[in-house]
Chains A and B, each alone.
Chain A
Amino acid sequence: MRGRIAPILVSLNPLAVRGRSVPPPLVVVARFLALALVLLPERPFGRFLPHLAWLDDLGSFAAFASALHSAAAVGTVLVLIGPLVRTGALLLGGAYLTGLLACRPCQSVAHTFVACVFLMVALSSRRTGTALLRWQVVVVYVGATAAKVFDRDWWDGRYMETLLDGHALYEWAGSAGVSTEPVSLVLSLGTIAVEGAIVVCLARRAWWTAGIALGVLFHGSMVLFLGQTFGPFLCAILISYVAFLRWPGTVEVAVRRGPAWSAVRRLFAMLDSDRTFRVRPDPPARGLVRADVHGTPHRGLAAVVSIALYSPVAYVLAAFALTVAGEAVRSAVLLVLIGAVLALLPSIRASIGRARRRPGWTADASSGSLGGLDTPPMERTTP
C-alpha cells in the first residue's frame, strides 16, 4: 500500500519538476506564473464589447465570467499540483486569451503575454522542449521593437517626454530649469536599441545568456525607474527567460565543512525533491561553496546563483517577493537580480565565448531537441 501511495505523493509535490510531459523549465515557468497570478491576484477578464461579436451570444455576462474564472481556477490547481501541467496550462491560457478577446477595453499586453506563455507550455512536448516558448519570447520583442522603430515619436523622444511628464526626475529638472529633451531622446533611442539587441541575442543560441542579462537589466531598471510592474508583465517576462536555461541532470555542490554543514545538507535533502543536487563537504581551504553545472565550476556568488536557478523553491520565494511582499521587497529583489547579472558578467562573457567555439552546445536533454528528459546533456562535436 505504502509503495503505491509514495509515487502518487511524489507526483503531487509542487516542487518536483521532473518526469512531467514537458521539460523542467516549462514546469517551473507554468507553476511560477500560476502562483504569481493567484498572489497578485489576477483572473481572466469578463465579457464587455468583445472583439469577436459571437462571444456576446454565449450566455449571460455573469455565466461567461464564471466559466472563465472556473476554468482558470481548475487550470491553476492542475498546474501547481500533479502531473497534468499541460492540461492546466491549456485551461489557464485559454481562459485568459478568451477573456481578452471578449473585452475590447481590457486590451493588455501583459495579460496577452501571460495567455501566450501558458498556451505555449500547453502545446509543448518533450520533442519540442522549450523551443516554442523561446520563440514566443522572441516574437514579443520583435513586435515591441517594430512598434517603436516605425513610430517617429520614438526617434525624437516625444513619446518619452509625454510618458515621463510628472515623473519625479522630470519635475525636478523642470524646477531646476534643465531641459529634459536630451534625456527623453537617450531613453527612447536606448529602449529601441536594447529591445532590438534582445531580439538578436535571444534568436541566436550562442547569445542567449547575453539576451537574458540584457532583459533582466532592462525590465528591472524600467520597473525601478517607473515604479510599476505593468500588472503581471514583470513576473511573466522574467520567468519566461527560464525557457532559455539548460536544466542540468545533476548539480555537484561542494560546501565548506563547518558548523553549518549538516544543516545545509538537511536543507538540500528537504527541498530538493528531484534530487538534482549532489551535496558533499569541502575542505575549509577551498571556499564557502562551489557548484558544478554542466561541467562548469562556479564559486561564491556565481555558485549561489547557479544553485538558485535550478531550485524550484527559489522560484516560489521569488513569486512571493515580486507580488505580495510589497514594493520595497520587490525593488530589493530587482536590485539583487540586476546586481547578480552585473556581478556575473565575466561568467556570462565566458559562456558566450565557449558557445562561439562550440556551436550547438545546447543540444541537451532539457531543451528536448535531442534525447529524453532525464538523459545527461549531449554535445555536438560539429566545429
Chain B
Amino acid sequence: MAVRKPCLRSIGTVVAIGFLLLQLTMVVRARFVDARSFSWAPYTTQVDYWLEVEVAGRRLSDDEVSSRYRLWLWGFGRESHGAQDLIDVIDQYERTYGRWDDARVRLEYSVNGRPVRERRWP
C-alpha cells in the first residue's frame, strides 16, 4: 500500500493562495478606508501638499521637513497614493520618533485638484 508523504510543495501552494487572498482582502479593504497601503492602487490619486513644521519654536526648511518624514523618496510636495497615507506617516512619526520634539505641524493638501484641506498636530 502506497503511503502518501506530506507534500511540502502543497504547503507552499497553500501559503501562496493565502497570500493572494490576503492581497484581494487588502483591495476590498481599500474601498472602506482612505489609506492605500498594499492595495494595488498605483498612481490613482494625486495629492499636492504643503507642510509647515516647527520644532522647539524653529520653523524647519523644506529640506529638513522632507528628511524628517523621508518624503523625498517619491518627490516632496506630491504624493501619488492617498492623502491618508501622508497623514499616517506624519502621525506615526510624531507619536514615535519625534514624540519628544515638541513639534507643531500644519499640513495643507489638495486631492486631485480639489479645494485645499488642513490638518494640524498636535
Contact = CB atoms under 8 A, between A and B. Distances in A.
Interface of A: 48-49, 51, 56, 100, 103-110, 112, 116, 119-120, 122-125, 127-128, 132, 135-136, 139-140, 142-144, 146-148, 150-151, 153-154, 158-159, 161-163, 165, 230, 233
A136 B40 CA distance: 11
A105 B70 contact: yes
Interface in B91-122: 92-93, 96-97, 111-114
Interface string B66-90: 0001110110000001000100110
Given A112-B38, A153-B112, A233-B42, A105 B31 contact: no
Interface string B21-55: 00110110011000011111111111010000000
A144 B113 contact: no
Nearest to A100: B38
A122 to B, nearest CB: 8
Interface centre among A103, A110, A153 (most CB of B within 10 A): A153
Nearest to A49: B92
Sort A-B residue pairs by CB-CB distance and give the 8 closest, nearest first: A143-B40, A147-B41, A109-B42, A123-B16, A125-B9, A162-B46, A143-B27, A123-B12
B36 A135 contact: no
A128 B12 CA distance: 10
Contacts, number: 125
Interface string B1-29: 00000000110110111011001101100
Given A49-B93, A158-B112, A159-B46, A125 B41 contact: no
A150 B29 CA distance: 12
Nearest to A48: B70
Contacts of B96: 49, 56
A20 B48 CA distance: 48
Contacts of A161: 112-113
B37 A109 contact: no
23 contacts: A49-B70, A49-B93, A51-B37, A105-B73, A107-B81, A122-B12, A123-B15, A127-B10, A127-B13, A128-B16, A135-B20, A139-B27, A143-B40, A146-B40, A147-B36, A147-B39, A147-B44, A148-B44, A153-B111, A154-B44, A159-B45, A159-B112, A162-B46
Nearest to B40: A143
A142 B112 contact: no
A163 B16 contact: no
Contacts of A158: 112-114
Interface of B: 9-10, 12-13, 15-17, 19-20, 23-24, 26-27, 30-31, 36-46, 48, 69-71, 73-74, 81, 85, 88-89, 92-93, 96-97, 111-114
Contacts of A150: 31
Contacts of A159: 44-46, 112
